[in-house]
Chains A and B, each alone.
Chain A
Amino acid sequence: MTAAVLAMSAALAAPPEKIEFWTFSMKPKFTPYFETLVKNYEAGNPEVKVEWVDFPWDVIQTKLVTRIVAGTPPALVNLNVPWADEFARDGLLAPVDALLGDARPRYLPSTLEDLRFGGKTYGFPMYSNVAVIAYNTQIFKAAGIPHAPRDLDEQLLFARRIAARTGKAGLCPALSKIDGLMMQQGLPVIRDGKAVFNSPAHIALIAKLAETYKAGGLLKDALFAEDNFPAAIDAYKGGRLGMLLAPPTAVKRIESDARDIYAITDVAPAPLGPTGIADGGWLIHFAVPKNVDAKLLPAVGKFARYLTNDANQLAFAKQASVYPAMAQAANDPFFTTVPPGAGAAEKAVSAGAVSMPHSHTLYVAGITDYDELRRYLVKAVEAGVTGKQDVKQALDQAVAIWNKKLSAQRSR
């Protein structure tokens, strides 16, 4: 009789709720981390079955769209801020304000600000990063530079001085992301739906870059490439570049790949722009796609808060050499104190932590075909910086193209 009752109750018991969550580019390095997370969560929440799926970063968007359209989206998905903005605009994400609950104040305010589109929050911040400035002390000494640069003007001045006195390049800014640099310098790209990056202040900024380029202060390799980081770090490791603006992980790479250069490397926080925003900031979060079963949402919220809680973010950030997006974890001594006798890699972690509260993902939100428009901007900047065209003329032409296309978008 007892056996029959037990069998019956087992049969009547609800099947465990399944939560599928997606990350990108985590396997194989972080497989033990995520498998342990899942195991621990399932042990504490037997009513939930968690499935972890990892995709390469360049396919996750397509996979997500097809699964949302098929009506079988994952419960949570890793996205960066520009992707989330685009997905939210297309109505493919659900706001998570109700799911953040009492965890909301524990996230760094800057991270939640980045995830607010149209007054709603679209994700649980997971980890972020920011640039530091690594510099070759031997090149600095040869160029007679006494300290790390404190603002953009000084960076460009030092770059020119390095070129003049050592014949080497001083800096390799990511000029394919010139829109971010403009915004960091307090120069808007768009105002009231119109492109405005041809103001005298914008022209002055590009003219300063052009002057530095002409003086040989900017590394010419891949200066305008979509991703110029490989060229920049290779040049730094080869002793051909004075300053490297990159996340602290880059300093770790220098340590493992070029010990001689690492030994003469020092690190400082990257200069904040006049806006007080740190250079090179980005944020990865967990978003909730549209069409996730409403009955599952409370469990999804609970799991997302677990995935991004202080302890888990701290453990992940330590392993991945990134920064937690939780205030308490971000203030852990691991990030804020420099141990005695620390090398450049440890100093880089601490320098980045100084900038973290000022980190934002800088991009122009809410514009259709933004990547294509940006190509016209980058082309104009390239023409101006390399001296192929007058800076004002180049920017005027790009602004005209932008406004024509923006106006066509509005009339559609």
Chain B
Amino acid sequence: MDRATTSVVPAQAVVRHRATHAEPERTGSMDSRVRGGPPMRNDGAGVDGARHANLTAWLFLAPALALLAVFSFWPVAFGSFLAFTDYSLIRETHWVGLDNFRYIFDNEMFVTGLKNSLVFLLMVPFVQIGALGLAVLVNNQLPGIRYFRAAFYVPVVTTVSVVGIMWGFMFHEQGALNYVLTTMRLVGAPVGWLSNDSLALFAIMFVTLWRGLGWYMVMYLAALQAVPADMQEAAILDGANRWQRFWRITVPMLRPTIMVCSILSVLAALKAYQEVDVLTQGGPMNSTFTGLYYAYDQGLKHLKLPRALAASFVMSIFCIGIALLCLRYIKPKHR
């Protein structure tokens, strides 16, 4: 067999590819595109090279994109479409316009859930400040510090069912928390952490905070360890104290991480539902519904899929809107 015909790369492409390396001045058009400037020259070899590079990039991306398309983009698009129908496995599906949205907005549980999802956002600063504080603490090279790092991370890897059992016991009327409070005479009678409609949501938020701290702590810890030591040393030589170094060097260097963690934390707060399911199932007096728990309750417990999808659609709009706000207002200055 002729050797030339067995090659998987066309000879012409090989030649052009080499040309882009051998003669960088001829690829000025490509470089300027990368930089965002106007093309300086538009010769055929440069354009073909760019196309080839693009094709290669798309080929590398293709497997991941195919999986995303099948398991993310298509379900999201189809689910969004079904939110406007009366979809049921057992009946013919009809377009019903905004009926499902009218239904959920006329439903106390969803409206309460939406409000509660926004109340959950109050937790974000506490999670971020707490996680950053923990990260600073465990960033010290002290004996046994690895144990503390692991201990703070344990809630992240603990399954939500175990979390539910454990915190259910902690918050029980006869549980550990009430035992401590009543023994120390801080309260006269056991507190109904999960049975009082004024407290239950905050108890759940606390559990969510507890579960999230370790995760963000690890992210901040990684960022802290990437802060160049020479900057700190230079600041020490300049006479900066610990507090000044933290505010003037560490925090600005952490801004990109703070942005990412804040957005993730905001989205996690808006999407909270597991803790509700294992601790209160929306009670007492429907006071702990969240937007997503309503969607879960309707879709998976009662098989009312269009309503669940409408609720999810609304929550997605909220998530996207708030994420965009975060991106707009928490911009990293140091990259």
Contact = CB atoms under 8 A, between A and B. Distances in A.
A382 B281 contact: no
Contacts of B90: 65, 68-69, 90-92
Nearest to A375: B286
Interface in B283-313: 283-286, 301-304
B302 A61 contact: no
B87 to A, nearest CB: 12
Contact of B303 (A65, A226, A382, A383): A65
A240 B280 CA distance: 22
A382 B284 contact: yes
A288 B39 CA distance: 72
B303 to A, nearest CB: 7
Interface in A12-70: 61-62, 65-66, 68-69
Interface string B97-109: 0000000000111
Most buried by A among B195, B285, B303: B285
Contacts of A69: 89-90
Interface string A371-390: 11001100100110000100
Given A68-B90, A379-B286, A61 B303 contact: yes
Contacts of A369: 302, 304
Given A92-B90, A220-B195, A225 B283 contact: yes
Contact of A240 (B174, B192, B301, B303): B174
Interface string A195-233: 000000000000000000000000011111110000000
Interface residues of B, number: 22
Contacts of A371: 301-302
A221 B174 contact: yes
Nearest to A59: B300
B203 to A, nearest CB: 14
Interface in B166-210: 172-174, 192, 195, 197
A223 B192 CA distance: 11
A220 B281 CA distance: 16
B192 A220 contact: yes
A226 B89 contact: no
B97 to A, nearest CB: 14
Given A240-B174, A375-B286, A379-B285, A66 B109 contact: no
A155 B284 CA distance: 24
A66 B285 CA distance: 34
Contacts of B109: 372, 375
Contacts of A375: 109, 282, 286
A369 B109 CA distance: 13
A92 B88 CA distance: 13
A62 B90 CA distance: 11
A223 B285 CA distance: 11
A220 to B, nearest CB: 6
Most buried by A among B172, B282, B284, B304: B284
Nearest to A169: B173
A224 B303 contact: no
A21 to B, nearest CB: 21
A371 B282 CA distance: 13
A401 B106 CA distance: 10
Contacts of A223: 195
Interface in A90-127: 90-92
B285 A222 contact: no
Contact of A224 (B89, B172, B284, B301): B284
Contact of A221 (B108, B173, B282, B285): B173
Interface in B65-92: 89-90
A65 B89 contact: yes
A221 B172 CA distance: 7
A26 to B, nearest CB: 22
B302 A372 contact: yes
Contacts of B281: 225-226
Contacts of B301: 371
A222 B195 contact: yes
A379 B303 CA distance: 22
Interface in A61-84: 61-62, 65-66, 68-69
A104 to B, nearest CB: 29
Contacts of A68: 90
13 contacts: A65-B89, A66-B89, A69-B89, A220-B192, A224-B284, A372-B107, A372-B109, A379-B285, A379-B286, A382-B283, A382-B285, A388-B285, A401-B108
Interface of A: 61-62, 65-66, 68-69, 90-92, 220-226, 238, 240, 369, 371-372, 375-376, 379, 382-383, 388, 401
Q: Which 7 A-B pairs have the closest CB atoms?
A: A379-B285, A69-B89, A382-B285, A221-B173, A65-B89, A226-B281, A379-B286
Given A65-B303, A226-B281, A382-B283, 10 more contacts: A65-B90, A68-B90, A92-B90, A223-B195, A225-B280, A371-B301, A372-B107, A375-B286, A382-B284, A401-B108
